[in-house]
């Protein structure tokens, strides 16, 4: 099936199957830099999920993020230490996966029956992408540890990208954002206006604004955007929020949705967005095809 037709079908189904989410409709728009984009909103999670992380996130490479106040003055730096031995991690995965199926080198197929589990793609060469985090006033008021918490969320969201696509997200900036808007779309556009232009590959917002009527929202780009790719995630606790962040980063890579009710297990299917951390084969292929949009 051609991707274009597939996406159109997906959107139509999303509309009919998710009538309760007023923001589920696709809004064709132009971002503040003139790129034509569509906006996709993810429903809120049905289950509460874990509020806090049990253990530190896997940080693939040590980074130092610059910290900015809401006037964009640099007020400090925050260091994040590497805590993953890549070799050990891959061995762990190999060990874990080998109990369920076949694993060759760094890619695995734990469903030898031919199912679409997203494990059959060669992750290819390493790509490092940079992330600027902006936390809004409501989020910061709720989380005095917002700098660590949001970085942990991004570092959990990138584990699937690292494992299946060899893409490492590294947090390079943290900013205080004052979110405005009557709904999730407007709040996304507000972040784009306020904080885009740092030169990072991704600009991700974290919000607890009561007007944000989605679990997450992102621009879906048809090609590499001229500025940072933008998304915003609602504070839904540690676990749900990192799932939403992985879903929204995937939209930034141009991915659409899988039809709800199709049984296709993919983080881009609303039925699985908060429970899996992998993509179906078509979406894996699409990420590989668009991998060069971001980073080095
Ligand atoms: Ca990580
Ligand atoms: Ca990372
Ligand atoms: Ca606000
Ligand atoms: Zn979505």
Compute the distance from residue 73 Cα to the ligand 4 centre, in Å.
33
Q: How confident is the model at residue 149 (pLDDT cuts 50, 70, 90)?
A: very high
Q: Which residues surround ligand 1, an ion (CB under 5 A)?
A: 58, 155, 158-159
Residue 1: what pLDDT? Answer: 40
Compute the distance from residue 58 Cα to the ligand 1 centre, in Å.
4
The residues with which 130 forms a beta bridge, in sequence order, are: 170
Residue 33: what pLDDT? Answer: 79
Indicate whether 271 pLDDT > 50: yes
Q: How confident is the model at residue 226 (pLDDT cuts 50, 70, 90)?
A: very high
Distance CA 280, CA 182 (A): 34
Compute the distance from residue 155 Cα to the ligand 1 centre, in Å.
4
Mean pLDDT of 243-255: 98
Residue 230: what pLDDT? Answer: 98
pTM (predicted TM-score): 0.82
pLDDT digits (tens, 9 = 90+) for 11-22: 333 333 333 343
Q: Give the number of the ligand closest to the Cα of residue 260.
A: 4
Distance CA 226, CA 296 (A): 15
Mean pLDDT of 262-267: 98
Closest CA to 253 of 215, 279, 214: 279
pLDDT digits (tens, 9 = 90+) for 112-122: 333 344 456 78
Residue 25: what pLDDT? Answer: 52
Give the residue, 85 or 213, on which the prediction is more confident.
Answer: 213
Residue 84: what pLDDT? Answer: 79
Compute the distance from residue 296 Cα to the ligand 2 centre, in Å.
14
Give the residue, 28 or 250, on which the prediction is more confident.
Answer: 250
Q: Give the number of the ligand closest to the Cα of residue 152.
A: 1
Q: How confident is the model at residue 126 (pLDDT cuts 50, 70, 90)?
A: very high
The residues with which 38 forms a beta bridge, in sequence order, are: 28, 220
Q: Of 39-48, 96-105, 277-286, where does the model show the most confidence?
A: 277-286
């Amino acid at each position: 099936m051609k991707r274009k037709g597939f996406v159109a079908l997906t959107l139509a189904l999303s509309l009919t199957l998710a009538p309760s989410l007023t923001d589920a409709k696709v809004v064709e728009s132009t971002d503040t830099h003139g790129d034509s984009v569509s906006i996709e909103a993810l429903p809120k999670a049905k289950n509460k999920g874990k509020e806090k992380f049990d253990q530190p996130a896997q940080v693939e490479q040590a980074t130092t993020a610059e910290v900015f106040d809401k006037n964009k003055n640099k007020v400090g730096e925050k260091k994040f230490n590497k805590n993953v031995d890549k070799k050990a991690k891959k061995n762990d995965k190999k060990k874990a996966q080998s109990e369920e199926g076949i694993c060759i080198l760094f890619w695995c197929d734990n469903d030898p029956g031919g199912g679409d589990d997203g494990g059959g793609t060669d992750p290819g060469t390493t790509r490092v992408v940079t992330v600027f985090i902006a936390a809004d006033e409501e989020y910061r008021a709720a989380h005095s540890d917002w700098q660590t918490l949001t970085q942990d969320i991004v570092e959990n969201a990138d584990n699937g990208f690292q494992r299946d696509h060899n893409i490492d997200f590294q947090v390079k900036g943290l900013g205080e954002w004052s979110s405005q808007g009557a709904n999730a779309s407007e709040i996304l556009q507000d972040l784009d206006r306020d904080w885009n232009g740092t030169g990072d590959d991704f600009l991700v917002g974290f919000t607890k604004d009561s007007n944000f009527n989605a679990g997450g929202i992102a621009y879906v780009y048809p090609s590499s955007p001229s500025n940072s790719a933008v998304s915003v995630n609602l504070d839904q606790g540690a676990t749900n929020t990192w799932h939403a962040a992985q879903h929204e980063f995937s939209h930034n890579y141009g991915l659409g949705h899988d039809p709800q009710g199709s049984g296709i297990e993919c983080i881009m299917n609303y039925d699985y967005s908060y429970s899996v951390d992998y993509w179906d084969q078509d979406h894996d292929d699409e990420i590989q095809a668009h991998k060069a949009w971001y980073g080095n």
